[in-house]
Amino acid sequence: MSDFKEFFSKNADSYAKSQSHKKGEDLGQLIQAINPVSSDIAIDLASGTGFTAMELAFHVSKVVAFDGTKEMLEKAESLASERRIKNIDYVIGDVSELPYPENTFDIITCRRAAHHFTDKKKFLSESFRVLKKGGRLGLVDMAVPESDQHNVFNHIEFIRDNSHIAAEKVETWKNLLEDTGFRLSNILTSSEEYTVENWLSPVKMESPEGKDLQKYLKETANELLLEGNINREEGTILKERFVIIAEKP
């Protein structure tokens, strides 16, 4: 497995320009569902180029943009500066070892990143630890289709980006959150259809990864592809996402 820092370091520019990350439906759903107020202190874990942190910054007193890749945070800081957003701190670190005491934050967000985490249980336990009582965790990620019995969706994600660890089904996340001690308060789901080329971005079709994916799509049985929401005939992939809001009792 490749270190995620390698993939995101070389693709930081592309993520900074991603309209899906900047304006995707799930971002608005997350902000509305987590209900930030002006007195809140928030941290956006695996913040990337900072689009979620910036949206939070309009609603709360302070946000920490926390990420494991220096190049992504540099882009985040540059984008926030262009928008004259000044209430964001930028911190490099590991989501499984948060450098904060218990009961620090009112809000934790993590958007489109948890499929890269090697230890999701530790990520959740650390999030629970640093949240204040009554604090909210807003988790957004791609979801493995319930119909996917052969892990096709995770397989194509790994072909695209070999730092991918695993997306999960929504039911799996619900169980993990409840086992950690969270109380679920809201679950929203959505889907977005991509062409194969758009889904691969920022990876190019002519790249080794793009060629490996095309080979896989050509050689894999159609019924297996359909399990993973892949329509070979139309050249499309339907990506399912969820927004889960969970509270620390």
Q: Peptide bond preceding 99: is omega within 30 degrees of 0, i.e. cis?
A: no
| pTM higher than 0.85 | yes
Encoded tokens for 49: 């180029």
Cβ neighbours of residue 236 closer than 8 Å, sequence gap 6 or more = 193, 194, 195, 196, 230
3-state helix, strand, coil split of the chain in percent (to 5) is: 40, 25, 35
In this prediction, residue 16 carries a pLDDT of 43
Question: Tens digits of per-residue pLDDT, 139-163?
Answer: 999 999 999 999 999 999 999 988 8
Give the whole-angstrom CA distance, residue 219 versus residue 73: 39
Give me the pLDDT at residue 88, please.
Answer: 98
> Which domains occur in the chain, in start order?
4-144+165-193+237-247 (3.40.50.150)
Spatial distance between the Cα atoms of 240 and 247, rounded to a whole number of angstroms: 23
- Are 229 and 156 spatial neighbours (Cβ–Cβ below 8 Å)? no
pLDDT band at residue 2, thresholds of 50, 70 and 90?
very low
**Which run of H or of E encompasses 124?**
helix 120-130
Q: Residue 91: CA atoms inside 13 Å, Cβ hemisphere, count?
A: 18
Note the pLDDT tens digit of each residue in 68-95. Answer: 989 989 999 999 999 999 999 999 999 9
Could you give the maximum distance between any two Cα atoms of the chain, in Å? Answer: 55
224 vs 19, residue with greater confidence: 224
The alpha carbon dihedral of 33, 34, 38, 42 has a sign of negative
pLDDT of residue 202: 85
Q: Which pLDDT belongs to residue 12?
A: 43
The reported pLDDT for the residue numbered 1 is 34
Contacts (Cβ under 8 Å, ≥6 apart) of 245 = 33, 34, 136, 137, 138, 139, 184, 185, 186, 187
pLDDT of residue 162: 87
pLDDT digits (tens, 9 = 90+) for 20-39: 555 578 999 999 999 999 99
CA pair distance 217, 16, nearest whole angstrom: 29
